[in-house]
Amino acid sequence: MALSSSSSSTSIFALALFTLLLIGSSSAQLSENFYDSKCPKVFYAVKSVLQSALAKEPRQGASIVRLFFHDCFVNGCDGSVLLDGPSSEKTAPPNNNSLRGYEVIDAIKSKVETVCPGVVSCADIVTIAARDSVAILGGPYWKVKLGRRDSTTGFFNLASSGVLPGPGSSLSDLIKRFDDQGLSTKDMVALSGAHTIGKARCASYRGRIYNENNIDSLFAKARQKNCPKGSNGTPKDNNVAPLDFKTPNHFDNEYFKNLINKKGLLHSDQELFNGGSTDSLVRAYSNNQKAFEADFVTAMIKMGNIKPLTGSNGQIRKQCRRPN
């Protein structure tokens, strides 16, 4: 009986120890204070480079926000979108000739490495830079949770599989793609408000301005001047137009007002206000910029929490374009 009791106690202890180790290996959490002692100057380093880049080309702000989105939607926020090489996500159809801002991230990483080498991940740099881009262009500022580590490989096949919603997406597809990432319909609409800054290529909106009826005719004609109907597959595919034609370099709620007036540039934009379940959210955000900004911040923080590598997983890349 004593032997049985001893064996039982040993088993319980072993199970408790295993559970403790398991929790310890997976409990590394993101924190707003992660770099307070490790690299307190990281925020200054990121912002100083970014301010210079956006002063030269404000569009880079939108490009950085989009990098963050495309990184997090493909196997989590792990900096994999920045990697070159045979499995690079850069050449996946949703990203090829579309994603921008890599050079800005390289410059930020270089500056951060001079301040505290080998400490700050590329994934965290993208996260901080996305927040700062929004703030520099007049949008809200929020505290970002940090402590991500970097993936050692890209995920070309996953990036090509449809996890990233495209400019021709329907409302139901948008809702599903975001739901697959743990993001609500409200999150999706709020995050779409990032289209208050940035530009889109003619190839991504040509079909809308020529073939769709739920578009203001004068708006469509104005866009057609820079995006000829018969120019598919030509260099004119790369002609760009602002996603928000009113205040393209300022982060505000004009995007939602444009949708109500049938002046969404992309099909996926106008789907948010086209007699569907998200019409009420678009109206609410068009009337209340503070409500939009609050929901946008909440959604950005949630998106930043998608499957981060923490603890001993991944690595801190010395250069963002390749693993160590």
Which residues belong to the annotated binding site? 71, 74, 76, 78, 80, 89, 165, 195-196, 244, 247, 252
Domain C-terminal end among 164, 182, 217: 164
Look at residue 314 and tell me if it is in a domain: no
Mean of all residue pLDDT scores within the chain? 92
Question: Is the per-residue pLDDT at 20 higher than 80?
Answer: no
Please count the CA atoms within 13 angstroms of the CA of 262 that sit on its side-chain side: 13
How far is residue 103's CA from residue 82's CA, in Å, rounded to a whole number? 10
- Same structural domain for residues 68 and 185? no
How far is residue 286's CA from residue 259's CA, in Å, rounded to a whole number? 9
Which residues belong to the annotated binding site for substrate? 165
CATH number at residue 52: 1.10.520.10
Contact 63/197 with Cβ under 8 angstroms?
no
**Full-model pTM:** 0.90
- Same structural domain for residues 233 and 151? no
Look at residue 52 and tell me if it is in a domain: yes
Domain C-terminal end among 164, 194, 211: 164
Look at residue 73 and tell me if it is in a domain: yes
Torsion angle (degrees, nearest 10) of CA 152, 158, 164, 166: 130
- Same structural domain for residues 150 and 214? no
Q: Fill in the amino acid letter for 45.
A: A
178: domain range?
Answer: 171-302
- Residue 40: other Cβ atoms inside 10 A: 11
Active site residue 70: yes
Tell me the pLDDT tens digit for each residue of 32-73: 999 999 999 999 999 999 999 999 999 999 999 999 999 999
Question: Is the per-residue pLDDT at 30 higher than 90?
Answer: yes
Which residues belong to the annotated binding site for heme b? 195
- Same structural domain for residues 120 and 217? no
Cα angle value 159/163/168 (rounded, 5°):
105
- Same structural domain for residues 288 and 207? yes
How far is residue 305's CA from residue 293's CA, in Å, rounded to a whole number? 19
Q: Which of 70, 100, 257, 267 is catalytic?
A: 70
- Same structural domain for residues 96 and 157? yes
Contact 133/50 with Cβ under 8 angstroms?
yes
CATH number at residue 274: 1.10.420.10
Look at residue 284 and tell me if it is in a domain: yes
Count up the domains in the chain and report the number.
2
pLDDT band at 29 (very low <50, low <70, confident <90, very high): confident
pLDDT of residue 28: 59
